[in-house]
Structure 1
Amino acid sequence: MGHYLSIDIGGTYIKYALMDDQHRLVNHQKMTTPENIGYAIFKQIDAITEAAADNYKIDGIGISTAGIVDREKGEIIYAGPTIKDYKGTAFKAWLTEKYKLPVHVENDVNAALLGEIWKGAARNQDNVFCITLGTGIGGAFYNQLLIDGFHHQANSVGYLLYDPETRTNYEQRASTTALNKMIANELGESFSAKIVFERAKNGDETCFSIIKAWTMEVAKGLAQIILLTDPRCILIGGGVSVQGDYLLELIQNQLETFLPNSFLKTELKIAELFNDAALYGAVYPFFNRDIS
């Protein structure tokens, strides 16, 4: 029985697993993303692939990654400050040449959206926007196919709403990195977002005010997405999505503030697959070749 190797490269962690012919992810692994000096990230992916190929029959490699990806070339064509010197990393060309295997490379938010359409909260739906709240903020839009834009730069929502006074953009005010900074400023370094959410749910007014202020920033960006794309559904992913309906309600309650009266028709949903979404999406094209 063959397997597909699925790898998800983020600014903080590299996660990987194998998918069997029953669409089950097995042998999950996780490691810290190395500082990208001298193609260190590619070298780590090569080592992961070599180890997997030594122990399993591998039929293909799916890579989900931060950065803007040219899907046809399987190459990073733009990367922000999260991963340095990443532009030009040619995963598909290098891995195909060495391992003689088909390789699919996809932006991580696109991959997460594909995973959710396949196995998650947006099963078989169309006109779905996905936003991931994490170290940064990423976006993806699926309307019969993934919408990339002419220069592959569509849905770069983290750069929305730049404020020249504070010199900050949307992701610098609404990512979980921004939330953690708000918490540290108000409560000190020892408090985590998880603790603050728990205390907010239990009536702690200071914690609630922090969460409310942060979700207001999140809502501002979602309003811009709705105005521009009018999606049937917006999926909210990223690690903070484990807060589920509590998070959703806080965002929903503030979203209408930034939209015209009676304008909000888009459904908000929490992604279901959490950290596995991009692992599913990275290998989905091997099973469903018409989706992207």
Structure 2
Amino acid sequence: MSYANYLAFDIGGTSIKYGLIDSDKHLTYLGKLDTLKNKDNAIINQIINKTTELINQHSISGIGISTAGIVDPLLGKILFAGPTIPNYQGTELKQTLEDKFSLPVMVENDVNSALLGEKLVGAAQAYSDIYCVALGTGIGGAHYNHGRLRRGHFGQANSIGYLQTSLNGTKDYEQAASTLSLEAKLKIYFNTSVPDAFEIAKTHSNPAIEDIINNWMKMVAYGIVQIILIADPELIVLGGGVSQQGDFLLEHINQYVSEALPDQFYQTKMVIAQSFNDAALYGAVYNFYQI
């Protein structure tokens, strides 16, 4: 039997990632399941079945879960879930798994988990006031301030995808600046992928595609300006698959943010996430390392 401290899950609308993370914070095992249609508790049964399998092979001392949706972190319960995972609201992950396996279970929202993962092993280790912007199918935010996640009075803080980008409320930040919105526009006009479009923009070989990429990055910067003015964080971490565009993405967004703000208001440092797709797994077990 091999040794692993913690079992981490990252539950999304299309897949469930899982991994084993040891006492030195190394990801020693990684796997993925397709997320089943959530009928008759299908998702929690997937978690139970995989946990049972891994507990028979490894020594596990705790389970951490990163999940889509609004989470009650004390109860480990899904308070709200959008259409991505039907019938998910009300799912009691913590209680069910603790009763089944007699192990401590931590449950956290996926963007909060991504931020905590960067704090544990990634780009945010040296910082105490951190904001994470996750760019993907949607847009999510998370704020860590001096040892605590800032959740807001009703637990709905940092739902930045709903920031309004038009005066009449017809378009929000997610509709304007998610990777999904960029992908849709590129397919309509050019039938090209987001990574390919970025490569074209870097070479200046197609002005029309370059304009779409630049305008999208300006919309991303628009939301970051609002975050800086409201939260004034020490560090902003850009995450999500598109963050793999690295310095090109970072330099342009930095430029557009600095153009929109007076110098004294833009002291926040901005970086690209280091852990990429594994950040939420690390963040799911973050609190076990604080005990």
The TM tier, using the shorter chain, reads over 0.9
Q: How much has 1:261 moved relative to structure 2?
A: 5.8
Question: How many residue pairs end up in the alignment?
Answer: 287
State the percentage of identical aligned residues. Answer: 48
| Structure 1 equivalent of residue 114 of structure 2 | 112
Residues 97 and 162 of structure 1: CA distance in aligned 2, closer, same or farther (over 3 Å): farther
Q: How much has 1:255 moved relative to structure 2?
A: 1.5
Q: Is the 8 A contact 1:63 1:283 kept in 2?
A: yes
Q: How much has 1:167 moved relative to structure 2?
A: 3.0
**Which digits, 9 at most, give the CA deviation of each residue in 1:229-253, with x for residues without a partner?**
0011110001111111100111112
Q: TM-score, normalised by structure 1?
A: 0.93
| Structure 2 equivalent of residue 193 of structure 1 | 194
Q: Could you tell me how far apart the structure 2 residues matched to 1:186 and 1:261 are? A: 37
**Which digits, 9 at most, give the CA deviation of each residue in 1:111-141, with x for residues without a partner?**
1111111111111311110110011111110
Correspondence list, 1:51-200, <5 A: 51-144=53-146, 145-161=148-164, 163=166, 167-188=170-191, 191-200=192-201
- Give unmatched runs, 5+ long, in structure 1: none
RMSD of Structure 2 on Structure 1 (CA): 1.6
Query: Which amino acid in 2 is paired with 1:12?
Result: T
Q: Could you tell me how far apart the structure 2 residues matched to 1:227 and 1:282 are? A: 29
Query: Which amino acid in 2 is paired with 1:72?
Result: L
**Which digits, 9 at most, give the CA deviation of each residue in 1:200-233, with x for residues without a partner?**
1111222211111111111111111111100111
> Of 41, 44, 47, which aligns to 2:43?
41
**Which digits, 9 at most, give the CA deviation of each residue in 1:239-288, with x for residues without a partner?**
11111110011111212344346522211110111011111111111111
Q: How much has 1:2 moved relative to structure 2?
A: 4.1
Q: Could you tell me how far apart the structure 1 residues matched to 2:280 and 2:61 are? A: 19
Q: Is the 8 A contact 1:120 1:273 kept in 2?
A: yes
Greater shift after overlay, 68-77 or 3-12? 3-12
Q: Is the 8 A contact 1:118 1:124 kept in 2?
A: no
Correspondence list, 1:132-281, <5 A: 132-144=134-146, 145-161=148-164, 163=166, 167-188=170-191, 191-204=192-205, 205-260=207-262, 262-281=264-283
Q: How much has 1:33 moved relative to structure 2?
A: 2.1
Q: Secondary structure at the match of 2:174?
A: helix
Q: Is the 8 A contact 2:6 2:63 kept in 1?
A: yes
